[in-house]
A and B are shown apart, each in its own frame.
Chain A
Amino acid sequence: MKFGRRAFLQIAAGAVGGSLLSPLPWQLAGDSARWSQNWSWRPSPERGEITKVPSICTMCEGGCGIQARLVNGNRAILVEGNPANPVTEGGICPLGAAGLQFLYAPYRISRPLKQTKGRGNISGFQPITWDEALAELGKKLAIVRGESKAHTVACITSGRQSSMDDLWQQLFSAYGSQNLFKMPTQADGLRSSALLTTGIASPYTFALENATHVLSFGSNLLEGAAAPGRAFAALRQWRQNGNVKLVQVESRCSLTASKADQWLAVEPGAEAAIALSIAHVMIAGNTYDADFVKNNVFGFEDWTDSTGKRRQGFKTLVSSPTYSPEEIAKKAKVDAAAIRALAKDFAAQKNAIAVWNLGHSDLAFNTYDELAFVALNVLKGNIKTGGLVNLTADIPLGALPAVEKDALAENAAQQKRLDLTRDKTAPVPQNGLYGFLDSLAHGSKYPIEVLMVHEANPAYSLMESRLFQAALDKIKMLVSFSSFMDETACLADLVLPNHTALERLDDVKGIPAASFSYYAVSSPILKPLGDTKNTGDAVLALAGKIGGTVASSVPWKTYEEFLKFRVKGLAETQKGAVADKAGIRLTSAEPVKPNFKDGDDLWKKLKAGACWYDAPAEMPSFKTASGKLELACQAIPVAAAADDHMFLPHLFTIKLAGGEQDFPLLLVAHSTGYLTSGYLANPPFMNKLIPDWTLKGNEEFVDVNPQTAQSLGLSQGQSASLRTTQGEATVRVNVTSAARPGVVFLPKGLGHKAYDEYIQNKGTNANSLMEVLLDPVSGMGTVWATRAQLRRV
């Protein structure tokens, strides 16, 4: 028998028949279909019980209530607003909602690192243990102190208000250095103007919630204000009630300007001129609160200084024709009638408030600008107990023990803070970070041995970037406590990584510029992912290694113990109350009844995501020379005031470098809602929000008015070279009528050199192009514009 073709076909036919009667082909077909639905390389998220853990967001100054969703208690999948938080009532900002992208960021630092090669060489970082890292820094700090050079140790910490500020302050006092700085925030300006006018160094607060007319001078209310949660809540309330008018005075058609009921477009830097002109109209028309001014204000009328010299008062100064709407209109390039209308409106409204500095970035206004805005609130009689403007009340947390200074600390403390050692120092010095860097960069009185940087990224986020670079060259050792490999950490000699915001125990001391008191404890949503350490704990550990009386000045074993101590002190005052539900009117003048028993009870409630609040405080008695609210600021020494108006709010502009010939345009760096520009880099989720007329590929756009673009021969999307007195960058042009003619606008938050491919090398760091101007009164760095030119390439 031959097994031929026929036999084969017969078997095959049988096999086909048999198969069709068996499950094989059907099963195979079905299974391959199912297989095709499941691509094995696609991640399959672990399933399990989903729980919610409440906490407080510490990624910016806002202190919003959040809750995280966890799978099986160990994997965070979502951060959302906490509906029980009385400020946000469940809302959240985009940065908060993207919070997990920092927790799970690829660029996190998971253990201490030591630079073994040259500064800035990433491959030189060697992992070390915490014991080694703390021993190394502790030893260095002990040696420097032993050599009576404690004053050469400096620290830059976050602009956020937390108990870490007090711990650093305590450590530095005991150690013997005054070179402790906070990153600049706009609250610095509110503090400095409060100090000059009230004698109290507590930032002014604004009761946005109680106002019916808000006159905002360039405030980035909707572009991520210093406390976005509260700003958005205020907008919600205004629109809900429908009886609040928002007026924005700004050069750019920002989102706030667009969303405002009225936008007055002015020249950059002319905001205060408008305020002074409004004051002029109000005084001329006698539409100001004369009773309030008469009883509470010094320097409105002409006055006599401490040397007996007769001085001009605010009324005389502002009543001069220089401040008439017609004159100011020329300077600010607006319509004089618009100023008059604004003044009429502002004067007529019972609950009208002038607000400024509600953003989170650098100061745009100089001291005299700020005083002009204060003056408007003075004319409205706002600055009083129960008024729309008040001073930030201290949160009565447990007070830190008095620092026991040993001889080393005493001696070192004789050395002035570095920014105050310069030849020309500010008469009423405030946050001196830029002055500090400036003196280092230009030959300081003494060197800096160690600079510690905590929750900040000064190498990126300080304006006039080359200033930090130049200063860094003079600093022998840079220590970063950053959780991320940011621009500053890259340059560090030693990195002691902090837990990220969602992993650590932290607290929030107040919401910037809020009239009510607010305190919250941020508890970790899960266990730390890496071998990181809460910087609070690291600082306590370091204190023990320095020797002298340093350790006994910070007697807490852990940061948790320290925070508990602070909360216990708060509980003992029996002031304020815990708010754990929405719908509480925080700005109500009604006294708040405490609803907690003792420290343990309050701690438990705060740890569970509730917050502590207190009604707006009474206005403290003014600590000025006159005992009144001073429009003529006597804190400014007579010697420093060449002229009468140097005490008063007046037209004042710090001159920009560069001539109009070479740099015919002004560059203004601005905040946007879709780009974070502080310590945190823009997360991938938020990158989707960046419009393609702000970033395309790696190229960033500047906003230019069509008229200006035409005169420069530029059209939409074209590449151009942007040169300022500080630096140069290649940008593309977005032609938009949102931009004022003659002004170029560049968004902040791009141009990172560190981090990962999701943000690195995209666009230009606006900070590197901007010029910092030191304020002649406060010494603080201000950045309002920089001279620039834009050319086709």
Chain B
Amino acid sequence: MNEKKSEASASKALGVVFFLAGFIGALVLGWVVFPNLLYSQKAQPMNFSHVAHADNDCESCHTFRPDGTYTGVPRLDKCKECHETAQGTTEAERILVEEYVEKNREPMWKNYAWQPDNVYFSHAPHKGQGLECIRCHRDVTKEEKLPAYRENLITGYSISTMKMTECEECHAQKGVSNNCEICHK
């Protein structure tokens, strides 16, 4: 009888162990392994140091066009204004000049905040409402090396692509329209 009891309690303990093993295993999988599996790292065409360009205003590259659209990541023409020939000896400088400027090829930068085609996003109203860039983007003022670009294997979005819920939440808080056509095209 006792034996049976202890057997039962042992099996119960073992049950807890099994349960915990599954539980912890799943937590590890969900919190540690899965996020790494879900995102693949993609290389940028070259490094870009924001610090090295700190003597310029942000607006000299990231600026509004007269039609209200935003330049976002500048195109090669902008780079060429200074980097027609190499300005330094870094590897990135070499890649820029040899692979892109001289061949007149556009570097295919991966946009960390990339939104899909069905999303309409305009910087102008957000800037106009006084939002700081770092409300949505990483602070790049001290950034010497571009962070890794991580792409979701299922959606193809960047890990930092903002989700619709976040947009809606802020719009709701600020009393801005959350109607579909405000953000979708």
Q: How far is the CB of B156 from chain A (nearest CB, A)?
A: 7
By size class, the interface of chain B is: 20 to 34
Give the contacting residue for A10; candidates B18, B24, B118, B155; CB below 8 A.
B18
Is B9 among interface residues, defined by CB-CB distance under 8 A? no
Digitize B147-160: 1 where CB-to-A-CB distance is under 8 Å, 0 elsewhere. 00000101111000
Chain A positions within 8 Å of B154 at CB level:
28, 31-32, 34-35
Given A18-B27, A22-B26; A7-B18 close (CB under 8 Å): yes
Q: B29 interface residue, CB < 8 Å from A? A: yes
Q: Scoring A residues 330 to 366 as 1 if CB is less than 8 Å from chain B, else 0, what string do you get?
A: 0000000000000000000000000000000000000
What are the residues of chain B within 8 A of A31 when measuring CB–CB? 38, 152, 154-155
Instruction: List B92-117 residues whose CB lies under 8 Å from chain A.
Output: 116-117
When the two chains form their complex, are residues B21 and A22 in contact, meaning their CB atoms are under 8 A apart?
A: no
* Nearest A residue to B117, CB-CB: A44
In the complex, what's the smallest C-beta–C-beta distance from B117 to chain A, in angstroms?
5
**What 0/1 pattern do residues 6 to 23 of B give for CB contact below 8 A with A?**
000001001100111111
CA–CA, A147 to B24, complex, Å? Answer: 97
Separation of A25 and B30 alpha carbons in the complex (Å):
8
A22-52 contacts to B, CB under 8 A, are: 22-25, 27-28, 30-32, 34-35, 37-38, 40, 44-45, 48-50
> CB distance A1 to B25 under 8 Å?
no
Does the CB pair B19–A22 fall under 8 Å? Answer: no
Name the interface size band of chain A. Answer: 20 to 34
Cβ contact of B29, chosen from A11, A17, A24, cutoff 8 A? A24
Separation in Å of the A92 CB from the closest CB of chain B? 21
A10-B18, A22-B34 known; A15 vs B65 contact (CB < 8 Å):
no
B69 near A50 with CB under 8 A, answer: yes
Q: A22-B29, A27-B34, A50-B69 are in contact. Are A15 and B23 (CB under 8 A)?
A: yes
User: Bound state CA distance, A34 and B159, in angstroms?
Assistant: 13
Closest A residue to B72 by beta carbon equals A47
Chain B interface secondary structure, helix, strand, loop or mixed?
helix
A14 and B25 within 8 A (CB): yes
With contacts A6-B15, A11-B19, A72-B75 taken as known, whether A23 is within 8 angstroms of B30 at the C-beta atoms is yes
Q: Judge whether A470 is part of the interface by a CB distance below 8 angstroms.
A: no
Residues of chain A lying within 8 A (CB to CB) of residue B27? 18, 21-22
Residues on B with C-beta less than 8 A from A17 are: 19, 22-23, 26
Main secondary structure of the interface of A (DSSP, over half): helix
Q: Does A625 contact B (CB under 8 A)?
A: no
The minimal Cβ–Cβ distance linking A9 to chain B, given in whole angstroms, is 9
> Which chain A residues lie closer than 8 Å to B26 at the CB level?
14-19, 22, 24
Find the A residue at minimum CB distance from B154. A31
Chain A residue numbers with a CB within 8 Å of B69 are 49-50
Q: Contacting A30 at CB < 8 Å: which of B19, B35, B117, B163? A: B163
Contact with B along A300-332 (1 / 0, CB 8 A): 000000000000000000000000000000000
Contact A14 B65 (CB under 8 A): no
Known pairs A15-B23, A50-B67; A37 contacts B118 (CB<8 A): yes
Contact assessment for B35 and A23 in the assembled complex, using a CB-CB cutoff below 8 Å: yes
Closest to A45 in B: B117
CB-based contact B25/A37 at 8 Å? no
| B71 sits at the interface (CB 8 A) | yes
- Judge whether B19 and A38 touch: CB under 8 Å: no
Measured CA separation A19–B18 after assembly (Å): 15
Cross-chain contact B25 with A15 (CB below 8 angstroms): yes
Q: Which residues of B33-63 have CB atoms within 8 Å of chain A's CB atoms?
A: 34-35, 38
Query: A residues touching B (Cβ–Cβ < 8 Å)?
Result: 1, 6-7, 10-19, 21-25, 27-28, 30-32, 34-35, 37-38, 40, 44-45, 48-50, 72
* 10 shortest interchain CB distances as A-B pairs: A22-B30, A14-B22, A18-B26, A14-B23, A11-B22, A10-B18, A24-B30, A15-B22, A14-B19, A31-B154
Q: Would you list 21 pairs from A and B whose C-beta atoms are within 8 A, ordered by A residue?
A: A6-B15, A11-B25, A12-B22, A14-B20, A14-B23, A14-B25, A18-B29, A19-B26, A19-B30, A22-B26, A24-B34, A27-B38, A31-B154, A34-B155, A35-B155, A35-B156, A38-B117, A38-B156, A45-B117, A48-B75, A72-B75
